[in-house]
Chains A and B, each alone.
Chain A
Amino acid sequence: MTARRGRKLDFEHGVVELIHGGGGRATTQLIEELFLPAFHNEHLATRNDQAVMRMPAGEMALSTDSFVVSPLFFPGGDIGAMAVHGTLNDVAMSGAMPLYLSAAFILEEGLPLRDLRRIVQSMADAAQDAGVRIVTGDTKVVEHGKGDGVFITTTGIGLRIPGIAPSVEKAQPGDAVIVSGTLGDHGIAILSQREGIGFETDVISDCAALHHMVASLIETCPTVRVMRDPTRGGLASALNEIAEASGVGMILNESAIPLDPQVEAACELLGLDPLHIANEGKLVAIVPFECADDVLGVLHADPLGRRAALIGRVVEDPRHFVQIQGDFGGTRVLDWLAGEQLPRIC
C-alpha cells in the first residue's frame, strides 16, 4: 500500500516500503505518524534535522551501539527496548546519568508497520520510564532480503557525576568483583525462540535500564573502580577486558555466581557456558573491598539487583588470567569467548 497525500499509514496491514526511506513525502509521513507521536518532545517537534541542547557544565559521556537481534520480539523484551536500554547502560557505566538519545533505523522493505509501531512504542516507553528523551533520528529502508527486519543504532549522551570516574583500567588487587544478578538470562531467552534449538522456559530477557541503580551504587561507593554491562560475550569477556586493561588477574568463586536454574539447565542441554552468554540488564562492578557490603546492600534494595552477589576478588597476576575456583577446589581459566558460542553434541 503506497503512501499518498491524504491517506494515513495503514498500521494494521501496511508494510515498510522503499519510499519510506527516500527522504520525501513518504518519509515525512512515517515520521509524523509514527515517530513523532511516540517519542514526543520539544526537540523533535521543531522538525529539524538536529537537536540543539544547552550543555551543562562538566564531563559528558557519549556512547553508541547497534542492535541487530533476531527475533525482534522475545520473552522479556524486543529490539526497541534493547536499543534504548543498551545505550543508556553504556553511558551509565562511566558514572554518567543519561540525558538524550538519538535513534537511527535501517528498515527492511516488507517489515509490517504493525511490528515497527510496536518496536517504536516500546522504545518510547523505555525512554520515558528511564527519564530520557529520544531527540533526533534517521530512517533508511533497504531492499527486502538485505536486512533482518530492522536494525537500530542508538547514541546516548549523559552528564558525568562530578568526581566520579570509573574506568576499565582502574581495577586493583584486593578489589571486590560484584555482579548485580543472575547471568545468561537474556541469551537463553533469545535462544529458546530459535528455530531448531527452541525449548520452553520461564526465563525471560533481563533487558532493563540500569542507570538509577548505578546512581545508588555511586552514591554509596564514590570510589567504584570499574563498571561494565556484560552484553555480548557475557561475564567472561567483560572480566577479561577489565583484567587486561588494568593489568591484573581475578579469582572468582564458582558457587557464588548467581544463575537461574533454568539457565543452567538450558546450558547443560546445549553445551553452553552461562558465563559466555549475553546479559542486557546486569552490571559487573569492581569496588574497593571495604565498600563491598554497602554496595551489595544498595543493589539488593533495587528491584534489578535482588540477586546481586560478591563473586570474587581482583588479584595480582602478570598473566591477567580470570580464574574460577570450582566447588571441588580446582581452578580453571575463564577465557574470552572464542567466536560465537554454538550448541554442540559432544
Chain B
Amino acid sequence: MCLAVPACIVSVTNDEAVLDIAGIRRTGSVALIDNPQSGEWVVLHSGIALTRIDPHAADTMLSKLRMLGEAA
C-alpha cells in the first residue's frame, strides 16, 4: 500500500514506460498518468505509476524546511 519509490520516465510506449529508479530500470505502467513524457518523475508503486511528482512543490517544501533550519 505504501511502498513506493520516485522513478524517472525514460521512454513511453502506449501505456508502458521504461522507468529509471536510481540507476536500475524496470518497465511499468503509466496508464494512470495523463500524457506521460520522458524525463518526468512519477511515484512508482508495485509496477504502476500512481501520479506525477511536482518538482516545484518539492522545492517549495524543501525551502520551507531550510528556512526553519536557518531560523533554528
Contacts and interface: CB of A to CB of B under 8 A. Distances in A.
Interface of A: 192, 198-203, 261-262, 264-266, 268-269, 271, 344-346
A269 B26 contact: yes
Given A201-B23, A262-B23, A271-B3, 16 more contacts: A199-B24, A200-B24, A200-B25, A201-B24, A262-B24, A264-B22, A265-B5, A265-B21, A265-B22, A265-B23, A268-B21, A269-B26, A344-B3, A345-B2, A345-B45, A346-B1
Contacts of A266: 24
Contacts of A261: 22-23
B46 interface: yes
A188 B23 CA distance: 13
Contacts of B23: 201-202, 261-262, 265
12 contacts: A192-B24, A199-B26, A200-B25, A200-B26, A203-B24, A262-B22, A262-B24, A265-B5, A268-B5, A344-B3, A345-B1, A345-B45
A8 B26 CA distance: 44
A199 B22 CA distance: 12
B32 to A, nearest CB: 16
Contacts of A199: 21, 24-26
Interface of B: 1-3, 5, 21-26, 44-46
A182 to B, nearest CB: 14
A262 B45 CA distance: 18
A269 B1 contact: no
Nearest to A198: B26
Contacts of A198: 26
B22 to A, nearest CB: 4
Contacts of B44: 269
A58 B34 CA distance: 72
Contacts of A192: 24
Q: 9 shortest A-B CB distances, which residue pairs?
A: A265-B22, A199-B26, A200-B25, A201-B24, A262-B23, A345-B46, A271-B3, A265-B24, A265-B21
Contact of B24 (A269, A271, A345, A346): A269
Contacts of B5: 265, 268-269
A199 to B, nearest CB: 4
Contacts of A344: 3
A346 B3 contact: yes
B22 A345 contact: no
A269 B25 contact: no
Contacts of A271: 3
B27 to A, nearest CB: 9
B43 to A, nearest CB: 12
A75 to B, nearest CB: 12
A282 to B, nearest CB: 20
B54 to A, nearest CB: 21
Interface centre among A203, A262, A265 (most CB of B within 10 A): A265
Contacts of B46: 345
A127 to B, nearest CB: 33
A345 B23 CA distance: 20
Contacts of B22: 261-262, 264-265, 268
Contacts of B24: 192, 199-201, 203, 262, 265-266, 269
B5 to A, nearest CB: 5
A266 B24 CA distance: 7
